[in-house]
Amino acid sequence: MPDPHPRSGLGEPRGPSFFPGRPREHTEPPAPQAQPAPSPSHTTTHRPPPTRPPRTSRPLAAAVLAAVLAGGLAGYAAGALGDDDPVPASAPAARAPGDLQAVAARVLPSVVSVRADRGQGSGFVFDERGRILTNAHVVEGSSRVSVELQDGRRLTAEVIGDDPAHDVAVLEPETSRGLRAADLATGTRPAVGDTVLAIGSPLGLSGTVTSGIVSALDRSVRLGEGSGGGQRRALQTDASINPGNSGGPLVDDEGRVIGINTAIATLDQNRGGSIGIGFAIPVGDAVEAARTIIDGG
């Protein structure tokens, strides 16, 4: 019987247990230190330091505070109101401008939104026949689903099989026309600290891209549901993923898929959301499971 209250994307967050930490003690910020007096223009004359800060200090501090607040609220405003993302003032100095933009532009055409009987998630084209990888929990209970491409086209896809133990499912769309397979990093192993992008449809917002790093390798995380689920190794990332990202790709800074976003850890089981601890199935494990599904194993 279908779930009367369908859940989207990641469903109930899975991952290691967390215990609430002790409340942080409130401490007063240290008193501001006075700025040293400017050097006198004549060495033979000594003037006392100014009795109050320059007039520009308070407006400058207010401007910095406003910038911090604007940055903190930008994600909420874009998600809640549907406004365009704010344009950053400058690219990070650690990388050349446009690098991650180019990666996102290359991968997005391979990413799809998946709508099933019990909810929605994400997926990506992984072979030349246009077949799509997603999570088993996204398509649970469905034999056919709807997929939406980045160009707005909607296709019907058959669920040709799933592997609940690895939380992997394979979809066969009605046509492969216009579908482009993503590059898979099956022959390489990511390293802790590598830059990554998570791409998918959190809360139904298709084509969403978030960035972060690989936080840890080979985390033991429970994947899948019921008796078929078990502890599996997973990549940990701080790239923001939320319900609806399930099945979408986690890619490296060369645009190669290194994992499938599948679960998050949260401190609140009733209002699960990203706290910077997400998990992805390593792409090698996912492709191996997919090949077994396709071969009828």
Q: Indicate the range of 61-70, 152-161, 216-225, 270-279 predicted with least confidence.
A: 61-70
The C-alpha atoms of residue 117 and residue 6 are separated, in whole angstroms, by: 8
The residue that leads in pLDDT, 220 or 239, is 239
Q: Indicate the range of 16-20, 118-122, 191-195, 203-207 predicted with least confidence.
A: 16-20
The residue that leads in pLDDT, 225 or 93, is 225
Mean pLDDT of the region 233-246: 92
The rounded mean pLDDT for the chain is: 74
| DSSP one-letter code for 6 | -
Helix (H) or strand (E) holding 289: helix 283-294
Pairing of strands 183-184, 208-223: unpaired
pLDDT for residue 92: 41
| DSSP one-letter code for 26 | P
Per-residue pLDDT tens over the stretch 258-288 = 999 998 887 766 666 778 899 999 999 999 9
Query: CA 85, 87, 88: angle at the middle one, nearest 5?
Result: 120
pLDDT band at 212 (very low <50, low <70, confident <90, very high): very high
From 127, 162, 167, 285, the catalytic residue: 167
pLDDT band at 228 (very low <50, low <70, confident <90, very high): low
pLDDT for residue 115: 94
**165 CB burial (10 A radius; 0-12, 13-18, 19+):** middle
Per-residue pLDDT tens over the stretch 134-162 = 999 999 989 999 999 998 999 999 999 99
pLDDT for residue 96: 55
From 142, 246, 274, 285, the catalytic residue: 246
The residue that leads in pLDDT, 152 or 82, is 152
Q: Indicate the range of 51-55, 239-243, 247-251 predicted with least confidence.
A: 51-55
The C-alpha atoms of residue 230 and residue 134 are separated, in whole angstroms, by: 18
The token pair at 81 is 């109101």
Q: Indicate the range of 66-70, 97-101, 169-173, 229-233 predicted with least confidence.
A: 66-70
**Of 116, 134, 136, 135, the residue nearest 124 (C-alpha):** 134
pLDDT band at 231 (very low <50, low <70, confident <90, very high): confident
| DSSP one-letter code for 243 | T
The residue that leads in pLDDT, 33 or 100, is 100
Active site residue 137: yes
Which residue stretches of 32-129 are H helix? 57-81, 99-107
Rounded percentage of the chain residues whose pLDDT exceeds 70: 63
The C-alpha atoms of residue 236 and residue 50 are separated, in whole angstroms, by: 53
From 137, 201, 215, 238, the catalytic residue: 137
Distances (CA, A) of 51 to 35, 37, 41, 43, 57: 11, 10, 18, 21, 14
Active site residue 42: no
pLDDT for residue 214: 96
User: Is 132 a residue whose pLDDT tops 50?
Assistant: yes
Active site residue 215: no
